[in-house]
Amino acid sequence: MDWFGHANVSFTHSASPLALQRKDGTATDLLKVCEKATPACQLNPLLFNGHLQTMWTAVKEHGPQIYYRRTIFDAEQNPYAGTFAVDFVVEPHQDVDDSLPPRTAYFSQHDFARIGSDDTRPMLICLHGLSGGSHEVYLRHAFLPLVKSGEWEVCVVNARGCANSAITTGVLFNARATWDVRQFVKWARATFPNRPLFAVGFSLGANILTNYVGEECADCPLKAAISVGNPFELDVTNKALQRSLLGKHVYQRVMGTNMKKLTAYHKESFMKYTNLDLGKIERLTYLYEFDREVQTVTWGYPTETAYYRDASSADAVLAIKIPFFAISAEDDPIAVQEAIPYEEFKANPNTVLCTTSLGGHLSWFEIGGGRWFTRPICNFLQAMASEINLDAIKPIANGKPDATPVAQTHFDPLRRKLQIL
């Protein structure tokens, strides 16, 4: 039982976690690194459940003063034509661009052309939640210690149309939109050849990141990744939200309203590049209605639930071949506990799941307004970058090596279908 905001912290993992080697030659493993990185979880006792924690995010706060420079990338793959914006954390500047979020300005062509470097500083790539962007308070809290240390480079890949970025084609973002992060990681690997690359995703961004890491499998250029508040099984979370009054009439409504605002902001682009019924979208109330009218029309899914099943990242956990740390709250009212794939984490030695009994959705508010999740995120990243011999990591096979199927079959986690051989 939780007392006065003290949350229980639990770890779900393989019986044989991924072996790691420290730079001093001593041995450790992924579970030990995650456990050491995770402090006790003492939250604000006045915010004693997931609803209060989550709703407290609506309290207006300025958050850390993070400054960005933005550049626009043209998508390289024809099926996913369009542009996306990436915001790089930079030193404070006085540039003002009213078309962008606060403290954000564009790179000049000259400055961006010189951004490449052969330095060895670790670099963190961040993915935000639904309809968010680099300006989000939770995101700035998460990487503030890394920025303050002066030892890390940090950037945020904004979903198409988010954070005041333009929509330039009919190819939008969705919960499985891994193409832009894939292109950016490849670009970062070529532009900063000596930097170890890491990534963290929040909520919908965590789902996208998990799918991306699973799709890349052993070829993933990232050295490690973190998932925070991942909904994992979107069909499960959708049904859970719809069966409760707060879930449907607060969370589904708020998320649906946010997506309607995003659509209204890009109304001219939607009219130019898509065949969406904007009048009908304006009359929607809930997120699942928005997905029905937008995601099914845009991508050709027969129903929104088919989209949710296809975009879910639970099975992608099985395909991960890099050190992967997931952090979730059991009382999260949006990324609900029943959607967490506990057995998949047990089956994959390259992954560790940390769950807390309190925390809400991307909240984990402590007394004084700080957010607990900042510490396990930054502690894990610092440990992986400074203590672990990243070149010595040898991912191991997933699943149960002593289990032989009676039938001749093969399960591909990314196709989510059992194939008869």
Alpha-carbon gap, residue 266 to 162, rounded angstroms: 10
Six token digits for residue 123: 């670099």
DSSP per-residue codes, 118-159: -----EEEEE--TT--TT-HHHHHHHHHHHHHTS-EEEEEPP
- The strand pairing partners of 69, in sequence order, are 88, 105
Do 262 and 131 touch, CB atoms closer than 8 A? yes
- Which of the following is catalytic: 165, 203, 312, 328? 203
135 is catalytic: no
Side-chain-side CA neighbours of 109 within 13 Å: the count stands at 0
- Which of the following is catalytic: 128, 331, 332, 357? 332
- Which of the following is catalytic: 13, 331, 361, 363? 361
CA dihedral in degrees (14, 16, 19, 25; nearest 10)? 140
332 is catalytic: yes
Side-chain-side CA neighbours of 320 within 13 Å: the count stands at 33
99 is catalytic: no
Please tell me whether residue 294 adopts helix, strand or coil conformation. Answer: helix
Tokens 């090596």, located at residue: 401
Alpha-carbon gap, residue 378 to 230, rounded angstroms: 18
Alpha-carbon gap, residue 197 to 209, rounded angstroms: 13
Alpha-carbon gap, residue 190 to 268, rounded angstroms: 36
**Residues contacting 25, CB < 8 A, separation 6+:** none
Catalytic annotation, residues? 203, 332, 361
